[in-house]
Amino acid sequence: MTLHLGVALSGDSFAADDWIRQVREADEAGLDFVTFDDTFGRHGPDAVQVAARVAPLTRHIGLIPVATTTHTEPFHLSTALATLDWVSRGRAGWQVRVSGDPAEAALLGRRAPLQVDALIAEASDAIEVVRRLWDSWEDDAIISDVATGRYIDREKLHYIDFAGEHFSVKGPSIVPRPPQGQPVVAALAHGPQVWDALDADVFFVTPADADDAARKVRTILPEKKIFADIRVGGHIPTDAATFNGTTLQLADLIQNWWSVSGLDGFRLRVSDISDVSDLVTELRRRGLFQTSRHRTLRDRLGLPVAVNRYQEAGRA
């Protein structure tokens, strides 16, 4: 068993080549995934669009853009992320984000900011809607029967009929079920207020040290994948532990944390992907990391096959 390794990229460049270069380097290094930071109102391109741009130009790496549930319709999120999964051939993920920033609320003009508990409750509903929409097409719904002129078996499309405090969505989706069935859902989680409330597959946590990481792992459901965030270099304010040292010292820290905490891996917050290449070489030398041979992000992270809830209900 080896640890999983990803990087978080952020930037304001609108030049596609800047993003393509970094994600290709991460792909060639054999990393498991890259995340793309995003917020409303920042100067920079949309994270989902960046992921879609680099997807056809990469081969193996998972692509996990941030997409905010606040002020956003889950139907639109589901179609954009399902499309990313198709474009990447099963390598898509989604990092859920909420926003309580009044400036971001003013940009869209829909409503005043909600309190944190309400934002998380809304995000929980949004995840449920998105997951139902991904399942609203059965895997074999497309029949493409030329003889009868039928493209879709309508019996294999399902109304999701979600009605909650924040959303009322009938469905079905307008995009076929993604190649992974369910793209990987991730969330940054500083405490149980998030990891107890959101139906995510992956949580990015911000422990201060190995013992803190172990405490967090013990309080999160065992079927979830837990990654520790570490900022490598720089002095940008962050909740994540910040590391300033040599490559060997960072490899030592990762080896120590991983061996005692039960973490599944690490997400390194870097200013440039080239900062990670020597680290990957060292982790490989120690037998701590190896490139996965799996094709989809779910398989790469060891997540179970995503069962279609409506298909299973019909069989029952």
Name the pTM for this structure.
0.96
Residue 279 has pLDDT above 90, yes or no: yes
Summarised one tens digit per residue, pLDDT across range 83-109 is: 999 999 999 999 999 999 999 999 989
pLDDT of 316 reads 59
Nearest CA to 36 out of 17, 51, 20 is that of 51
Domains of the chain: 4-315 (3.20.20.30)
Summarised one tens digit per residue, pLDDT across range 179-207 is: 999 999 999 999 999 999 999 999 999 99
Summarised one tens digit per residue, pLDDT across range 237-247 is: 678 899 999 99
Residue 117 has pLDDT above 70, yes or no: yes
Nearest CA to 139 out of 203, 88, 182 is that of 182
pLDDT band at 149 (very low <50, low <70, confident <90, very high): confident
DSSP secondary structure of 1-68: ---EEEEEE------HHHHHHHHHHHHHTT-SEEEE---TT-SS--HHHHHHHHGGG-SS-EEEEEEE
Name the one residue in this structure whose structure tokens are 């207020």: 193
Nearest CA to 188 out of 99, 297, 82 is that of 99
With contact defined as beta carbons under 8 Å apart, do 265 and 3 qualify?
yes
Mean pLDDT of 19-28: 96
CA distances from 296 to 61, 86, 95, 148, 223 (A): 9, 11, 17, 34, 18
CA angle 108, 112, 118 (to 5 degrees): 110
